[in-house]
Structure 1
């Protein structure tokens, strides 16, 4: 019998392992199962976007683990990836609820980026893209540092900054927008958008983490060209008489932000 032949059991064991592996890969690639897990993630507490580059930029255990999950699963979407990130999403949410992600001081968080930069960059070439990004960084960063702020990190064609003074933060963004007008990029005109929120994020090393960070980033994502979006919490600390203020009412469609968030578009009078 095969069991009594040399290596027979080993061959059957390897065959069984191979079949199990193929079945596991089929399940991992199942679009229906992955969609179901994504629906569960949207219903869980925390940021259902956990796993994108923004949410994995920190130094907490959840971010380290998230980067490991993404590295192991690669760029291929799958059930294993979604389940792993969903568990970490819940873990991060529990830490936030227990105060694990809250700092001790109020910080104004600023996110900026360029509108339609990727489309222009495809045709511009690497050398021109690098030149423009250097000019953009100079235009954006000086107004922040001049007002006592810190450039936390550069995000490709964007920037994350932190400032202590709410009025200074808004002035820095307006000044950055003005300075950007002096950046020339061939036939393309660089235009920025920005999102600002005030909160008490947790500082880890040179980075900031937490719901306040996610909120500012989502505002930046939703701003239009040359638009500056601020939260109601930040607007309450500004002099509205010195601004042109317009209420935005689509905030319920934003993911990973507080339910009671109010959003306003602000500009100079």
Structure 2
């Protein structure tokens, strides 16, 4: 059993299988984002049952089972953080097609110009840019109304930009939830929901989940419900609204 457990070919096969399973295949690693410190402890217990240090095939099988359980817990809304935050995603409409024709120099120039508009808009409403995603951005705010006004500042700031025939226009989506902070990043099911909401937005449109709309003064916003919103990984009961401040 020990020889089989330490066989490199068996270990490689189990590791490949873990990469195909749902969830974080690095669960048990100290840098894994799918646990709050319990993974290493469970990892050591599994290793003791196998009569070895971590890293054998039995250990990997055990962690694979835990990985699947963690993924199921995420889908059911567990594993979140503890603080309500507004999560915002934006991206440039039609950017990829234009960039292929415009070339690297024009593309980099455009991204600098866009970044010079988006980041101050976020910071001006007490938000934080979490990361840049090519032509997209993820940011977090304490209040959804701040995110709404930040997006409207972005729309206004981009009006005067045109490079190689392209006028940047962004679409955006936001959701309120409790993402988990891992280093400088945020992860979790609520982040995924915000990203899916943003993907459904049209040109110069901000979509918001019902959780985000609930945090905005009704007198300060025009919220129009988007019918038939469906997206993978999003709760079927989620309602989405197109927002403009009044």
Written as runs of structure 1 = structure 2, the 5 A alignment for 1:184-263 is 184-251=162-229, 253-263=230-240
1:59·1:204 contact (CA, 8 Å) conserved in 2?
A: no
State the match for 1:124 in structure 2.
102
The structure having more radius of gyration, on CA atoms, is 1
1:96·1:210 contact (CA, 8 Å) conserved in 2?
A: no
From the two aligned structures, give the one with the greater helix fraction: 1
Deviation at 1:221, TM superposition (A): 0.6
Tell me, what secondary structure is at the counterpart of 1:105? coil
Give, in whole Å, the separation in 2 of the partners of 1:112 and 1:254: 17
Written as runs of structure 1 = structure 2, the 5 A alignment for 1:73-222 is 91-95=70-74, 97=76, 99=78, 101-222=79-200
Give, in whole Å, the separation in 2 of the partners of 1:129 and 1:182: 17
2:87·2:138 contact (CA, 8 Å) conserved in 1?
A: yes
**Alpha-carbon spacing, 1:59–1:128, altered in 2? closer, same or farther (3 Å):** farther
Give, in whole Å, the separation in 1 of the partners of 2:107 and 2:149: 27
Deviation at 1:91, TM superposition (A): 3.4
Stretches (4+) displaced over 6 A: none
Give, in whole Å, the separation in 2 of the partners of 1:153 and 1:59: 19
Deviation at 1:242, TM superposition (A): 2.2
Q: Is 1:266 paired with 2:212?
A: no
Mind listing any 5+ residue stretches in structure 2 that lack a counterpart?
1-12, 14-19, 26-30, 36-63
2:176·2:211 contact (CA, 8 Å) conserved in 1?
A: yes
Greater displacement, 87-96 / 103-112: 87-96
Mind listing any 5+ residue stretches in structure 1 that lack a counterpart?
1-23, 25-37, 52-57, 63-84
Give, in whole Å, the separation in 2 of the partners of 1:145 and 1:134: 17
Give, in whole Å, the separation in 2 of the partners of 1:129 and 1:220: 22
Normalising to structure 1: TM-score of the pair? Answer: 0.66
Deviation at 1:149, TM superposition (A): 1.0
Note the alpha carbon deviations across 1:156-193, whole angstroms, 9 max, x for none: 00000001122111111111111111222121211100
Deviation at 1:143, TM superposition (A): 1.1
Q: Is 1:60 paired with 2:33?
A: yes
Aligned pairs, how many? 196
2:130·2:138 contact (CA, 8 Å) conserved in 1?
A: yes
Normalising to structure 2: TM-score of the pair? Answer: 0.72
Deviation at 1:93, TM superposition (A): 2.9
Give, in whole Å, the separation in 2 of the partners of 1:230 and 1:97: 21
**Alpha-carbon spacing, 1:166–1:126, altered in 2? closer, same or farther (3 Å):** same
